[in-house]
Amino acid sequence: MTHKSLAADEVTTAVCGYCATGCGLRLHLQQGLAVGLSPESEYPVNLGMACPKGWEALRVLDSPNRATTPMRREGNQLIAIDWDEALQMFCHEFKKIGKEHGPQSVAFLSTGQIACEEMAFLGCLAKFGMGMLHGDGNTRQCMATAVTAYKESFGFDAPPYTYADFEASDCLVFVGANPCIGHPIMWERVLRNPNDPEIVVLDPRVTETAMAATEHLQLRPKSDLILLYGLTREVIAIGGVDKDFVERSTCGFEELSQCVDAYTPAVTAQASGIDEEVIRRTARKIADASAASFWWTMGVNQSYEGVRTAQAIINLALITGNIGRPGTGANSITGQCNAMGSRLWSNTTNLFGHHDFASAEDRQRLAEILGIQSERIPDQNSLSYDQIMDGIDSGEIRGLWVIATNPAHSWIDQDDARRRLAKLDFLVVQDMYANTETAAECDLLLPAAGWGEKSGTFINSERRYGLHKQVRRAPGKALSDFRIFRAVADYWGCGEMFSDWTTPEAVFQIMQRVSCGRPNDISGINGYEQIDQCGGIQWPWSTQDAASGLPEQERRLFAGGKFFTHDGKARLITAEPGTMPEPPSDQYPFILLTGRGTVSQWHTQTRTSQSPILRKLYPETIYAEIHPHDAQELSIATGDSVRVRSRRGSIVVQASVTSSVGQGQVFIPMHYGATNRLTLKHFDPYSRQPSYKDSAVSLERVQ
């Protein structure tokens, strides 16, 4: 008998709402509502595959922990109220704070988890309608480094690749990336590569991806910049430079050569722990490849020198001419389903549509397109996430609106973060779930619809706009984030300013006008229907492009060697490597690495913990991976309770003795609530991204 989830009377497609892979899903409908799903075999991203999170995307909507009604704090409790009271309270409290303390005293924290159209509405409403100066996204925690690196090197935040490049390379270099579990469908694309490619992995851990590599460089934590410079020096020394491309399309090769000259194989080997011969062999593999591609994620981005490390990767791709051709690229892999949308459309630290708040010309252009006075657009950049947290601590920021993110769990140095959040006069949380750590502390909870209960677009890692659709009803009184922003605008008294912002697709048309003539031009997209029919559409797709026909499914940037800088040349940017701010000491002799645990876990587990199937696929209890030698020294065995202590706090975890971590290192997945009680609050100076992977800790078996 056919299972009821497959007995559909209708089928539609939508992109998945978890990660930035952006898989296409086929939704099985009965009377218009989704009862099941399967991966879409025609979608160019996933080609009929999905990971466990995607398969479970509908089930987590049915959780009893859903926020189903607005709630306000009364003493230690949150009590149910109606939307009218919630919206009146929202406006009254934020207006009161703004009146007493100025427009800088209220801020918002946005997310990479909602649609482009929703984050556009939020950012424009908050800054142009409500008069806020400061707002940032949780993408600061994952992608800010890649954004800054691309902007400085390419002149625009422009990941150049398309997923077909996974299958077209003959040498794939993964730096601080574990796609086997972090981006499993991308890894499946690697496995389809017919070239028997070299797979080089730079990672301090023996990750699942490292186990599958043809060359694993198990470098010391935070020696990646030196190792990349050492590889660059060797590539230059063996004649691996594409001189023609460097001359034609880049600036700064002389400075780069001088900078890396000090990183001889001997010096690099001493700093990184990688054998000289392996350094030479790896450089040779890169130099000899006809199509080498370079991929990075959080191991690079979440670092106190992440921007310069990302640029060292970009430099390697550029000097070897590995960009703009099939199988090449300096390719940042994104995390959240719409982190890429946030980078363009959230109106947080970039002015809406990747403009510049400090540019009068940009403000004027935008004001004309949006039909608002240019004076309504702030002429200063927003504070970044960490600076907003500092502002809360100093009392300068007193009201905070948090949308679809969970800082009380995910922000670095958690005890300090919670202490700061507790100082707020008014904390609003807008979320699908009522049981997040941040919702537990809020003064007002606004219940939001989730993926599948609303529609809009996400942009995936390869710049592809994908459509997601409403196939379920939101529970109780929960509303789509779009409708909440619409209601806030009306209650605030600025609804008129957004009279054209009637539906997500109407906002998409506004975004198209804003993008016109820019590197991210999407003016040629013929509505949501075309996105749906074409298997998503990568930016750019301008009206001029559209005149030549339908968009091809796989397009990459920089094919002509021309970049978005004023002279069309990419910049080769370097800096002297720094030192770890909190090196291991006698008292704290281990380096704590944090990161993704399993394929079935996602960030703070707000959603993944709602699925009984996903819960079965990961350890329930927080655990730490400890090297066998260290475990023996400390008389620790697998399953023992171990106290992990840092200068910030101490937690008890279950030991997992394994040589997947190096000696002197400990790995704890980021998904567990306690992990960030240990992490040291420090940031990349250019991107302000937190550095989560280099805190000093001690270990002690709990008797």
Residues that bind ligand SF4 (CB under 6 A): 16, 18-19, 21-23, 46, 50-51, 53-54, 184-185
Closest to ligand SF4 by CB, 208 vs 416, is 208
Give the H or E element holding residue 445: strand 444-447
Minimum distance between the CB of residue 428 and ligand SF4, rounded to whole angstroms?
Answer: 28
d(CA 619, CA 216): 27
Nearest approach in angstroms of CB 460 to ligand SF4 is: 8
CA distances from 73 to 86, 425, 430, 434, 498 (A): 11, 12, 14, 13, 30
Closest C-alpha to 72, from 60, 84, 55, 56: 84
Nearest residue to ligand SF4 on Cβ basis: 54
CB of 613 to ligand SF4, least distance (A): 14
> 341 near 159, Cβ under 8 Å?
no
- Residue closer to ligand SF4, measured from CB, 45 or 227: 45
Placement of tokens 């930016």 in the chain: 539
Question: Cis bond leading into 540, ω under 30°?
Answer: yes
Tokens of 343: 């980078």
3-state SS class at 315: helix
Residue that the structure tokens 């937690």 belong to: 651
- Contact residues for 461 (Cβ-Cβ < 8 A; gap 6+): 20, 21, 22, 159, 183, 186, 332, 333, 334, 340
Nearer to ligand SF4, 52 or 577 (CB): 52
For residue 665, the Cα-to-chain-centroid distance in whole angstroms is: 25
Min. distance of Cβ 395 from ligand SF4 in angstroms?
40
The one-character DSSP state at 338 is T
Nearer residue to ligand SF4 within complex by CB, 185 or 260 = 185
List the one residue out of 6, 26, 25 whose CA is nearest residue 17. 25
**Contact of 83 with 77, CB cutoff 8 Å:** no
Compare residues 53 and 134 and give the one whose CB is closer to ligand SF4.
53
Which CB atom, from 127 or from 472, has the smaller least distance to ligand SF4?
Answer: 472
For the bound state, the minimum distance from the C-beta of residue 510 to ligand SF4, rounded and expressed in Å, comes to 27
Round to whole Å and give the CA distance between 169 and 190: 9
Closer residue to ligand SF4 in complex, CB, 148/460: 460
Q: Which is nearer to ligand SF4, 46 or 457 (CB)?
A: 46
Please identify, using beta-carbon distances, which residue of 22 and 407 lies nearer to ligand SF4: 22
CB of 307 to ligand SF4, least distance (A): 26
Residue 207 or 268 having the CB closest to ligand SF4: 207
- 587 conformational bin, left if phi > 0, alpha if psi -120 to 50, beta if neither: alpha
Closest approach, Cβ 353 to ligand SF4, in A, equals 25
Give SS3 for 694.
coil
How far apart are CB 598 and ligand SF4 at their closest, in Å?
A: 12
In the complex, the smallest distance separating the C-beta of residue 107 from ligand SF4, rounded to whole angstroms, is 30
**Minimum distance of ligand SF4 from residue 602's CB (angstroms):** 7
User: What span, in angstroms and rounded, lies between the C-alpha atoms of 400 and 406?
Assistant: 13
Number of H helices, E strands in the chain: 26, 26
- The nearest distance, CB 506 to ligand SF4, in angstroms, is 26
Nearer to ligand SF4 by Cβ, of 384 and 601: the residue is 601
What whole-number distance in Å separates Cα of residue 379 and Cα of residue 363?
8
Task: Give, in degrees to the nearest 5, the angle at Cα 207 between 203 and 208.
Answer: 140
CA atoms within 13 A on the CB side of 411: 26
Q: Is 353 left (phi over 0), alpha (psi -120 to 50) or beta?
A: left
- Alpha-carbon dihedral sign for residues 147, 150, 151, 152: positive
Return the number of the residue (23 or 124) whose C-beta is nearest ligand SF4. Answer: 23
- In whole angstroms, the minimum distance from the beta carbon of 341 to ligand SF4 comes to 14
